[in-house]
Structure 1
Amino acid sequence: MTITASRSDSVGGGGRVTGGPMTLTGRVVDGPSGFTGVEATPEWAAEIKRLARERNATILAHNYQLPEIQDVADHVGDSLALSRIAAEAPEDTIVFCGVHFMAETAKILSPDKTVLIPDQRAGCSLADSISADELREWKAEHPGALVVSYVNTTAAVKALTDICCTSSNAVDVVASIDPDREVLFLPDQFLGAHVKRVTGRDNIHIWAGECHVHAGINGDELTEQARTHPNAELFVHPECGCATSALYLAGEGAFPADRVHILSTGGMIDAAKAARSSEVLVATEIGMLHQLRKAAPGIDFQAVNDRASCKYMKMITPAALLRCLAENRDEVHVDPETAAAGRDSVLRMIAIGNPGGGE
């Protein structure tokens, strides 16, 4: 529906933006890849801020979001860090610009708050790689095993989990478990392989899940980029299919080991501020480059794979965010029993220490 000269115009599904005159123009269109039709102009940003104040809402944006979404947000970061911010925020509405499991985690940690996601269809291939029923069957095959789930999972899976982990503390979480206890690690196979390699643990079983974006950043690409940028540092997310190749390059002396860093997205921000090279190759979703360039503007950050873009993250468009705030859409619900069990698995992780930011 058209948004033109007056805030009384309809925005999307029957909701209305109330108030005085505005110069925001466009037409919110719902297409196969999400909501479109509104440009991220200064007028749009001002309207987003006005609506957020009107709804007593805080806007959270994941590091993989579109730059314009990151720039209008109140807080930008990893999913767990943002969920913890949401729990402490004074506002009673949380607008989570990310994918669905992230908004669920915010609801788990903030059960009394209203949590909105600008487009409820924004899913996650990694979270979808294991269902609650599949986890129940896997647990039945390994009675007595302890379940460690990456935070990139649904609320239903977290509810069946003993301890959650992030990419920055997965090694610490697994190392804290009795070495004689079997461990079921899920859902990311590359993060699981990294944990097994570092801990040297033989009794860890790893679910064969993956993030389609990170899995697509392969070792051949990383090797070629490292060869053509011999003075760069490498920032590699442990979900990447190329993480093993990065460690191989360092181990074989093909690339200086002190310039190879396996990092969570939050860890990349800290490493950017401490980087010694003027050039950094980044193996993760390309939305991360925006925050890295803001954190260290004097460094040339380049994607190992410039096609590594998550279509689900990019469903949170300027039009989707406007619709969300104007119409109070789409609310995320987690039933209380599931939320309580999921919250316990997250809090056990936090009790171990070093929860990091998130994925």
Structure 2
Amino acid sequence: MNRPEVARREAFGTDETLQAGERDLLMHRIRKNLREHDAVLVAHYYTASDIQRLADETGGIVSDSLEMARFGYEHPASTVVVAGVRFMGETAKILSPEKRVIMPTQEATCSLDIGCPADEFAAFCDEHPDRTVVVYANTSAAVKARADWVVTSSIALDVIRHLHAQGEKILWAPDKHLGDYVQRQTGADMLMWDGACIVHEEFKAVELEALRGQLPDAKVLAHPESPAGVLDQADVIGSTTQLLRAVTELDATTFIVATDNGLFHKMREAAPGKQLIEAPTAGRSATCNSCAHCPWMAMNGLRNLDAALRTGADEIHVDPAVAKRAMVSLGRMLDFGREQKKQIAGAGDA
């Protein structure tokens, strides 16, 4: 994606032009409409700070994609408002077909989703019928419907270790960097789809090494969607939730963070005394000056969130037949996660 297109998308949802009075009015009206429409707001860590604050203040959640889906499913509200990107809205609808699911804008998509068209992916799967199909959550409902398993970054290692132990060969999509990391950690036989996140792929290993030289006491935190050269330098590799936990648990005072800078809002709340530095995206091999924020996440703003609640626009619909098939792969992930929690709880009681 070229920079003018990214800039256009960023401008669509940005609240930078809001005056203080308009911001306060919008936030007041959104709180009111959430109550009146029996709606709960679930927001991803990469959305704007105002959106995250609203979710927290109104009884919603700010989290990673797996916890967003679980929360919306378990919450009694009849309407789930998903501030994130389209695959997150689709997942919420698949898990809760009886609920109304709306988004600030359905134009908010994901480079991983776009880069894995359902028809091309189905053909790829058909060429390798002997492999168990595992797809990352950052995919369309139609791609999930073709898969045997869905995983998020927080559970991918455990699921692949489980499948590898059973002797299964894996067909993995769409993020090649996450897939490479999982393969290196587990030793599993994995055939990769060639996809990448436009944010995480821009983090630069050479420039990160130079920055670490300037800040020798800093800890490097990296999301596994980042390239291998970045991950090889990381002190902690994990999902957004795992990186957030690392900021609070490690005794370092300075962190270089290789993930979307939207996570910095929650990191600063959790560890206000820590210094957070974006991992470098600029350098000799750079294609942009700063790519540390998803242009589609930036499309979630107070204005379009307010409009969605008032008008019911941007409601998510998933074909019931597709949703039924996708629920199989999603259900396996959720069941696996629940069983893990039971085992951990049992070990703690022993």
**TM-score band, normalised by shorter chain:** 0.7 to 0.9
Q: Distance in 1 between matches of 2:334 and 2:105?
A: 29
Q: Which amino acid aligns with 1:140?
A: D
Quick check: 1:195 aligned with 2:185? Answer: no
Q: Distance in 1 between matches of 2:193 and 2:244?
A: 29
Matches within 5 A, 1:70-109: 70-73=52-55, 74-109=60-95
TM-score by structure 2 length? 0.85
Match of 2:37 in 1: 55
Quick check: 1:263 aligned with 2:238? Answer: yes
Q: Distance in 1 between matches of 2:248 and 2:242?
A: 10
Deviation at 1:60, TM superposition (A): 1.2
Report the count of equivalent residues: 314
Q: Which amino acid aligns with 2:278?
A: A
The superposition leaves residues 70-126 of structure 1 with CA deviations (integer Å, 9 ceiling, x where unpaired) of 111121011121111001111101110100001001111111000001111111111
Quick check: 1:34 aligned with 2:12? Answer: yes
Q: Which amino acid aligns with 2:114?
A: D
Q: Distance in 2 between matches of 1:221 and 1:60?
A: 35
The superposition leaves residues 315-342 of structure 1 with CA deviations (integer Å, 9 ceiling, x where unpaired) of 1111111111111121000111111111
Q: Which amino acid aligns with 2:79?
A: T
The superposition leaves residues 245-304 of structure 1 with CA deviations (integer Å, 9 ceiling, x where unpaired) of 342x47xxxxxxxxx000100111221220210111110011011111111111111111
Q: Which amino acid aligns with 1:344?
A: V
Q: Which amino acid aligns with 1:34?
A: F
Select the residue among 108, 111, 118 that pairs with 1:132: 118
Q: Which amino acid aligns with 1:274?
A: E
More helix by share: 2
Q: Which amino acid aligns with 1:194?
A: Y
Question: Where does the alignment leave 5 or more consecutive residues of structure 1 unmatched?
Answer: 1-30, 251-259
The superposition leaves residues 143-185 of structure 1 with CA deviations (integer Å, 9 ceiling, x where unpaired) of 2210010111110000001011111221211111155432101
TM-score by structure 1 length? 0.83
Quick check: 1:319 aligned with 2:303? Answer: yes
Give the match's secondary structure for 1:127: helix
Q: Contact 1:168/1:267 (CA < 8 Å) preserved in 2?
A: yes
Match of 2:262 in 1: 287
Matches within 5 A, 1:1-359: 33-34=11-12, 38-39=18-19, 41-73=23-55, 74-178=60-164, 180-201=167-188, 203-241=189-227, 243-247=228-232, 249=233, 260-305=235-280, 307-353=291-337
Question: Where does the alignment leave 5 or more consecutive residues of structure 2 unmatched?
Answer: 1-7, 281-289, 341-350
Q: Distance in 2 between matches of 1:58 and 1:355?
A: 27
Q: Which amino acid aligns with 1:188?
A: D
1:189–1:178 Cα change, 3 Å: closer
Q: Distance in 2 between matches of 1:109 and 1:233?
A: 37
Q: Which amino acid aligns with 1:268?
A: L
Deviation at 1:354, TM superposition (A): 7.0
Deviation at 1:194, TM superposition (A): 0.2
Deviation at 1:35, TM superposition (A): 5.0
Deviation at 1:351, TM superposition (A): 2.5
Structure with the greater alpha carbon radius of gyration: 1
The superposition leaves residues 46-87 of structure 1 with CA deviations (integer Å, 9 ceiling, x where unpaired) of 111001111111111110001111111121011121111001
Q: Which amino acid aligns with 1:137?
A: A
Give the match's secondary structure for 2:123: helix
Q: Contact 2:224/2:231 (CA < 8 Å) preserved in 1?
A: no
Give the match's secondary structure for 1:310: coil
Q: Distance in 2 between matches of 1:126 and 1:354?
A: 27
Deviating runs (4+, > 6 A) in structure 1? none
Task: Provide the identity percentage.
Answer: 37
Match of 1:23 in 2: none
Q: Which amino acid aligns with 2:272?
A: P
